[in-house]
Every structure is written in structure tokens, then in C-alpha cells.
Amino acid sequence: MVSRFTQWTLDVRDPARMAAFWSAALGYEIDADGQHLRPPADAGPGALTVWLQPGGGDKRSKNRAHPDLYAPDGHVAEEVDRLVTLGATRTDVGQTGDEGFTVLADPEGNEFCLIHHPWRR
């Protein structure tokens, strides 16, 4: 027996703001409660749901865990620009510049990466 990932949960201060950002970033739908995000029908059977858990305090250091995203169309620079337009910021967590990813932070400062060449099964 093994476990499988089903949901990504993020503690947030402003669920509405974060739901707007993450739903636009991922193309997810916001549930009526305003805190759960559901993947679109074309996301595939293993797509994670997202729960934006209210009550997160101020962020003080680098996340110990973060999501890695990719641009399905392969246009990494355009996707970085789109995410920044939505409210993400480029952030430095000690990367050298030779990595195969771009580090960004959501509107509350939570890091995530846009992988340049995702691993394929």
C-alpha cells in the first residue's frame, strides 16, 4: 500500500486575493467557499486540488516546501511574464542562475518555481 498526493494546502492571510491569483495562474475554478480550487476538466486524473487555508501568519523565511509548475506550451519566458502580471514576483532564494527553473513568489511571498523542462513519465 502507498499514499498519493491529492491536494496542495497553503496557509494564507487573504484567501480571496490568493484564490484569485492561484486560480488564474493554474486555470483552476474557485469553489463557492472561496478557499478550494478545483482543476479544470482537461487537467487529467492526477491533478491536485488546492486549499487556501485561512490563518497564515507573516512569512519569515524560505518555504520548506513549494510547488513546481511548468508551461505546457513550452513558452517559459511568456509564462513567467504572465505570472508576474498576475501578481507574482521574481525572488532570490540562493539560486546561481544556471538552474533549469525560475523562482517566483505569489502575492503573499510564498515561493514556487516554473520548471523550464519538466520531467516526463
20-62 pLDDT, tens digit each: 999 999 999 999 999 999 999 998 888 999 999 998 677 778 8
**Residue-level pLDDT at 4:** 86
Helix (H, G, I), strand (E, B) or coil at 9: strand
Decide: 59 and 108 in contact? Cβ < 8 Å: yes
Residue (of 15, 78, 69, 18) closest to 43 by Cα position: 69
**Contact by Cβ (8 Å): 13, 108:** yes
